[in-house]
Chains A and B, each alone.
Chain A
Amino acid sequence: MQIYLPIAETSVNAFTLLGVGGGVGLLSGMFGVGGGFLITPLLFFIGVPPAVAVATGVNQVVASSISGVLAHLKRKTVDLRMGTVLLIGGLIGSIIGIWFFNLMSRLGQIDLIVQLSYVIFLGIIGALMLQESLRALIRSKNPTAPRRKLHIHTWVHNLPFKMKFRTSGLYISVFPPLAVGMGVGILAAIMGVGGGFILVPAMIYLLGMPTKVVIGTSLFQVTFVAAFTTMMHAITNQSVDVMLAIFLIVGGVVGAQFGTRIGLKLRAEQLRILLAILVLSVSGKIAFDLLWTPSEFYSITVPGRF
């Protein structure tokens, strides 16, 4: 059954869409990630124009993180003060990202920029995750090895405008969280992701936040930044396709429910290795497309259309 997407102005198989949404939902439930970094490239692969894939992907992030953030707010595992600082950075970053996205669209380079961001960020994150989880696996087999110190205080934390973050037990400059939030906002706008895969490690290793509040606070920031970015894409380049979004969201929500149950049965180290391999293979596939000599050297863009 084909579904006509009114904004993308093409039709896509409905079951493929539900499959993409469901598959990514399953993985996101298993690994506890948003899945935006998988949805957007998968949409490219099935022929959705990149601009529509990015804008709709970020809309899907809102749906996949909203119930999580509500649950964390109820459990009071959100550092609202830190979340707000990260969010302010995120909104600034999103505006910069949207500006850059629209500029590159006009110059005909947006596909390249999106693909390059995926290769670089997924490549780095995937490699770091793989290294970290392999090390953890070795450590678990050799418990006498020394443990790494969790939070190292560096010069970055001593910049001016220090602020107390009581929930996280931190007294640091506002600049590091603002910068981290901004970086995530830029990525959300350009890549159509929530940015949790950057935000969570940055909060733990860079800001030194306690793991207890990391997930809730990152979900808080991601939800609002994704919502804001959706609005920005809708207003500046009309590339959000709600028909596409509904199919992805419905598939995703159902998939996530099953994914969560599967995730509980697997061991954390194994899960992280699997996720790292998944992230690396997505990055590898896109890198291959950029490096491999294309069969068609020409492409067409129609101004005002995707």
Chain B
Amino acid sequence: MRAALIILLFWCALPLRAEEVIAGLSQNRVSLTVNFEGSEILIFGAVRREALLPADSDLDVIVAVEGPPQPAVIWRKARRLGIWVNTDAQEVRAAPSFYAVATTRPLRDILSPEADLTHRISTRLAIFEARGVSDRTDPAAFTEALIRIREEQGLYQSRYEAVTLERDTLFSTRILLPKTIVEGSYSARIFLVRNGDVIDEFETFIDVQKAVLERWLTNLAYEQPFLYGLLALALAVFFGWGASALFRLVRS
């Protein structure tokens, strides 16, 4: 809330535009703690307006939250000798690890394809396919599969009419970050849309980090794998031998 207030002060000092968006997040830090099972973020804001409310067009709000991009390989199975095997693969240069779009109305009704391309708002445009000619007959099928699988996992979300806009001024939406999200900086972009065009944009960030113990274990595993392996063995020996010694003690 305090961050939102500070931004509000800055925003008052900015030169005027017809309609401007200002937004805040319920939290801009997510900690992947030992009992993390997903997190819900409230994104809210207001539209500031100098002139009168234009009567000739409708105002819409789009909220897009994007996780750190990663390269990915999409595999397709085919039956070989009776069993299902990964046979074809297609690489994607960068696909967001998380991507959620929430809007006041269906995206295609409020945003022109040109504006979508400029701002890369719809999920399909957030994925960068590998350059170069593909030898596949259907490269799009792989990208569609990527979106479909991640939608099922809750990692990609297209939630139309999930943003509530009150009196063309106050808006809010909730974005659910599932338990499988990765660490990194997540961007939250908020667009004001009129006549198919973006009239104002606001961007803020959410920092997703593993908690202290989880962070320490991951760092150890990747930076000191030998020590990490020894730790894993020590725990196994301690619990394996220790527990049976304890049971023997209890019984005698």
Contact = CB atoms under 8 A, between A and B. Distances in A.
Interface in A262-306: 290-294, 296-303, 305
Contacts of A6: 32, 210, 213-215, 217-218, 221
A231 B217 CA distance: 15
Contacts of A7: 217-218, 221
A240 B228 contact: yes
A47 B229 CA distance: 23
Contacts of A65: 240
Interface in B199-246: 210, 213-215, 217-218, 221-222, 225-226, 228-233, 235-237, 239-241, 243-245
A59 B232 contact: yes
Nearest to A256: B244
Nearest to B182: A9
B77 interface: yes
Nearest to A231: B229
Interface centre among B86, B148, B228, B240 (most CB of A within 10 A): B240
Contacts of A233: 229
A213 B228 CA distance: 34
Given A2-B37, A7-B218, A296-B149, A301 B72 contact: yes
Majority DSSP secondary structure for residues of A touching B: helix
**Interface range, A side:** 35 or more
A249 B236 contact: yes
B76 A250 contact: no
Interface in B35-77: 35-37, 70-77
Contacts of B222: 238
25 contacts: A1-B35, A2-B35, A4-B35, A4-B179, A60-B236, A62-B240, A63-B239, A66-B236, A67-B245, A108-B75, A230-B233, A230-B236, A234-B225, A234-B226, A234-B229, A238-B225, A240-B228, A240-B229, A249-B235, A249-B236, A249-B243, A256-B244, A297-B77, A298-B148, A300-B73
